[in-house]
């Protein structure tokens, strides 16, 4: 389907958790489905780390289908015949919203002069967009992975803005292991001499480092079982080991492909800033140390979904959120789905997820 | 304690699984404890990926204690009052045995001209060493992680050479996820321009890439629980987040320290070759596809040990080996130990492991 591509420059500076503010920020977004008269049919979709606003329309760089075509469209679980779906590129990213590759007031790219942002800052940008669009309460805010963090942050910090909060394969805080993998990725980018302290926009980008970072991330997105089932020890286009350093194994070939493909569409500095925001995410810490306090007095209905093979944000993290919501007296449903794909399950063919999403949004 | 440092140049060329042979190979090794008259008290210790022969004597580069001081010494589980312990640096490594940093016949370092080797090739080097030393049957061969792969390879390919085979936290084959992490490390090294196709011995080494590879490996050596218990989301030497890209979190600081420390003592090309050997390891495949056939007719006693928190070589991999040994009619005992540290447990303070090792070697 075709989405409506728009971009909006925020009138007011965006205050940031780190102090200071982001001036003249732009938010690029796609919409799908018609807005009804009383603007009560809006679903805000929040994208993941390397996601973007092209939920159900072709990616302008790669030409590939939108990342959630299977979920969003006419008659689909997020039904654009009923709902007006908005998905905005988060600030800090590189698909049209203001980020490190954007021009600062001196006409040059921010690069590492871009302020370090948080998940809440991203959501502040989304709320500012809703304000500008005159949208009050959302029918729902929906997100998987980092999108789920944004949904939780919106529910905690702007509790009146969403009637329903759907959080898939996500967490309320980054664990030490989560931080470790992100730090590994950042160090890979920064180890690439072409990164050059972030000033590479007029030369070659640190594609080698960014590809390594992406490879590391991809390992965490798939379960051990999924990797074994998908690749095992199968060789790539050969009958025997080459006794060399080519990609003998299919899994090596897959990772190299994922790494090099990613650099075509993503900015290395954005990768640094967004992973940093995720590592900083700790919703309890933002609310005095007790997660239940983050949701005190919320009237929203929550739905949490985890996947049994997800070792990046395992079911225990969703349960942790559910317990806090229970303690806060919130209406919450929770389901752990069985799916073999690991964290990536939220993007893949899991019919049970479709039913949960459709049911919750009705 | 002091080990006896020796190096031996093999008289015969070492045939290699990839075809060809390694000529004039040297094997550097340490011994601890006295050899008895009939040479029947020898324990061959096999080291792990980045390990070396300095089991129980200070590392000559770092000055740190040997890597298994707690296990090897007078009155310790591997008792040097009773046993003559030999640990040799594997070929392909960089602590004295022939590897990519060694001089080839033209007087220049092999670099990437070094042949791709396998675990069995490493063991071939160890067996050649034993031959030269006039040692027939070992009282035991012992190894953790890659050392365990060597122990299994020796038992499968030279079944008469070891009366006892002790395999700790290891596997009979590298899984897709194991290969993926190693490929990530290799790509990190090769992405460093200073790697220069492996020709860096006269200039700067690819320390940045190698440090990233080591960081990735370290994440796999610790369990998620161990990382959480050790570091959690604790900040490093500061009271609040810096909103920058310094190592705010202790886990980031730890990884950076592990990465940079490693480059002082290890050769990047050796890291490529040894990880490749591990990825190629598939003991069943070497023996017609059926793991039990690898152990047909063995008279050795086997002991397999796994750790419940090890996600690199989980208990299921040890069980897989135990089932094959059972099918081959071998004498085998197996224990899964509970320890919080993950894969690194075999190197750390796990008193139950001491008891298992001591009991099995008696």
The mean of the pLDDT values for chain A is 97
| A259 Cβ under 8 Å from any chain B Cβ | yes
Which of B190, B231, B245, B283 to mutate to test binding with chain A, by most A CBs within 10 Å of its CB?
B245
- pLDDT > 70: percent of chain A: 100
Rounded to the nearest angstrom, the minimum Cα separation between A251 and chain B is: 6
Does domain A4-174+281-361 match CATH 3.40.50.1820?
Answer: yes
Q: In chain A, whose CA is at the least distance from the CA of B258?
A: A184
Fold of B4-173+283-361: Rossmann fold (3.40.50)
Please list the helix, strand and coil fractions of chain A in percent, rounded to the nearest 5, in that order: 40, 15, 45
pLDDT band for B129, please (50, 70, 90 cuts). Answer: very high
| B262 Cβ under 8 Å from any chain A Cβ | no
Chain region(s) in chain A for CATH 3.40.50.1820: 4-174+281-361
The answer on pLDDT for A2 being more than 80 is no
- The contacts of residue B307 (CB under 8 Å, 6+ apart) are B169, B315, B336, B337, B338, B339, B341, B342, B343, B345, B346, B350
pLDDT in tens, B183-235: 999 999 999 999 999 999 999 999 999 999 999 999 999 999 999 999 999 99
The more confidently predicted of residues B146 and B1 is B146
Chain region(s) in chain B for CATH 3.40.50.1820: 4-173+283-361
pLDDT in tens, A143-181: 999 999 999 999 999 999 999 999 999 999 999 999 999
Picking from A176, A227, A231, the nearest residue to B231 by CB comes out as: A176
pLDDT at A1: 66
| A119 Cβ under 8 Å from any chain B Cβ | no
Whether B93 is a known active-site residue: answer: no
How far is CA B164 from each of CA B74, B152, B154, B330, rounded to the nearest angstrom?
20, 11, 11, 11
pLDDT band for B297, please (50, 70, 90 cuts). Answer: confident
pLDDT at A46: 98
Tally Cβ neighbours within 10 Å of residue B133: 16
Q: Tokens standing for A353? A: 């997820």
Please tell me the distance from the alpha carbon of residue A341 to that of residue A220, in angstroms, as a whole number: 11
Q: Tokens standing for B208? A: 């940045």
pLDDT at B1: 66
The mean of the pLDDT values for chain B is 97
- pLDDT > 90: percent of chain B: 99
pLDDT in tens, A303-343: 999 999 999 999 999 999 999 999 999 999 999 999 999 99
Backbone angles phi, psi at B360, to 5 degrees: -70, -35
Picking from A173, A191, A249, the nearest residue to B279 by CB comes out as: A249
Interface of A with B in 202-221 (CB under 8 A): 208-209, 211-212, 215-216, 219
Whether A145 is a known active-site residue: answer: yes
Rounded to the nearest angstrom, the minimum Cα separation between B190 and chain A is: 9
- pLDDT > 70: percent of chain B: 100
Q: Do B252 and A180 touch (CB under 8 A)?
A: yes
pLDDT band for A4, please (50, 70, 90 cuts). Answer: confident
Feature table: binding site of A for substrate = 214, 344
pLDDT band for B282, please (50, 70, 90 cuts). Answer: very high
Please tell me the distance from the alpha carbon of residue B337 to that of residue B335, in angstroms, as a whole number: 6
* Continuous segment of H or E residues that includes residue A167: strand A164-168
pLDDT at B194: 97
Q: In chain B, whose CA is at the least distance from the CA of A117?
A: B243
pLDDT at B4: 87
* Burial (0-12, 13-18, 19+ Cβ within 10 Å), B261: middle
| B174 Cβ under 8 Å from any chain A Cβ | yes
The CATH class of the B178-275 domain is mainly alpha
Largest CA distance in chain A: 67
Average pLDDT over residues A95-122: 98
| A189 Cβ under 8 Å from any chain B Cβ | no
Give the DSSP letter string of A66-104: PTTTTTEETTSSEETTT-EEEEEPPTTSSSSSS-TTSB-
Q: Do B216 and A255 touch (CB under 8 A)?
A: no
pLDDT band for A250, please (50, 70, 90 cuts). Answer: very high
Q: How many CB pairs under 8 A join A and B?
A: 151
Task: Indicate which residue of B310, B318, B341, B345 is catalytic.
Answer: B310
| B276 Cβ under 8 Å from any chain A Cβ | yes
pLDDT band for A3, please (50, 70, 90 cuts). Answer: confident
| A271 Cβ under 8 Å from any chain B Cβ | no
* Angle (nearest 5°) at CA A291 between A287 and A293: 60
Chain A residues lying within 8 Å of B311, measured CB to CB:
224
> Which residues are bridge partners to B87 per DSSP?
B30, B45
Chain A residues lying within 8 Å of B285, measured CB to CB:
233
pLDDT in tens, B170-181: 999 999 999 999
Average pLDDT over residues B157-169: 98
Q: E-strand spans in chain B?
A: 4-9, 14-15, 21-22, 26-32, 42-46, 72-73, 78-79, 84-88, 140-144, 164-168, 301-307, 331-337
- B311 with B343: CB under 8 angstroms? yes
Give the DSSP letter string of B35-53: --TTS--EEEEE--TT--S
pLDDT in tens, B229-264: 999 999 999 999 999 999 999 999 999 999 999 999
Q: What is the CA radius of gyration of chain A?
A: 20
Picking from A184, A232, A249, the nearest residue to B212 by CB comes out as: A184
Contacts 24+ apart (CB under 8 A), B151-155: B151/B46, B152/B283, B152/B294, B152/B321, B153/B119, B153/B120, B153/B122, B153/B123, B153/B281, B153/B283, B154/B44, B154/B46, B154/B123, B154/B126, B154/B127, B155/B295, B155/B298, B155/B300, B155/B302
pLDDT at B308: 98
Chain region(s) in chain A for CATH 1.10.1740.110: 178-275
Chain A residues lying within 8 Å of B176, measured CB to CB:
224, 227-228, 230-233, 249, 251
Average pLDDT over residues A36-42: 97
Q: Tokens standing for B160? A: 């008469």
Rounded to the nearest angstrom, the minimum Cα separation between B64 and chain A is: 25
């Amino acid at each position: 389907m075709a989405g409506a591509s728009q971009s909006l420059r925020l009138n007011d500076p965006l205050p940031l958790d780190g102090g200071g503010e982001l001036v003249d920020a732009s938010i690029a977004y796609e919409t799908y489905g018609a807005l009804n008269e009383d603007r009560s049919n809006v679903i805000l979709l929040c994208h993941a780390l390397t996601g973007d606003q092209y939920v159900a329309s072709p990616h302008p760089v790669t030409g590939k289908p939108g990342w959630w075509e299977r979920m969003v469209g006419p008659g689909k679980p997020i039904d654009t015949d009923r709902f007006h779906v908005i998905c905005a590129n988060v600030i800090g990213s590189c698909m049209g919203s203001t980020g490190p590759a954007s021009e600062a007031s001196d006409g040059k790219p921010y690069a590492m002069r871009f302020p370090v942002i948080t998940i809440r800052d991203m959501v502040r940008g989304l709320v500012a967009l809703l304000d500008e669009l005159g949208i009050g309460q959302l029918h729902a805010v929906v997100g998987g992975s980092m999108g789920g963090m944004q949904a939780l942050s919106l529910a905690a910090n702007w509790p009146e803005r969403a009637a329903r909060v759907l959080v898939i394969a996500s967490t309320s805080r980054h664990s030490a292991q989560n931080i470790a993998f992100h730090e590994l990725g950042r160090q890979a980018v920064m180890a690439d001499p072409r990164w050059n302290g972030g000033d590479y926009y007029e030369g070659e980008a640190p594609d080698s480092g960014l590809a390594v970072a992406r490879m590391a991330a991809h390992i965490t997105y798939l379960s051990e079982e999924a990797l074994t089932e998908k690749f095992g020890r199968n060789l790539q286009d050969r009958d025997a080991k080459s006794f060399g350093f080519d990609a003998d194994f299919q899994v090596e070939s897959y990772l190299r492909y994922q790494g090099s493909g990613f650099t075509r569409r993503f900015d290395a500095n954005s990768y640094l800033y967004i992973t940093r925001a995720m590592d900083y995410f700790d919703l309890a810490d933002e609310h005095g140390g007790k997660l239940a306090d983050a949701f005190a007095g919320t009237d929203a209905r929550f739905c949490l979904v985890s996947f049994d093979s997800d070792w990046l944000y395992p079911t225990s993290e969703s349960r942790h959120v559910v317990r806090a919501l229970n303690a806060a007296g919130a209406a919450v449903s929770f389901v752990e789905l069985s799916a073999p794909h690991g964290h990536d399950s939220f993007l893949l063919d899991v019919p049970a997820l479709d039913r949960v999403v459709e049911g919750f949004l009705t």
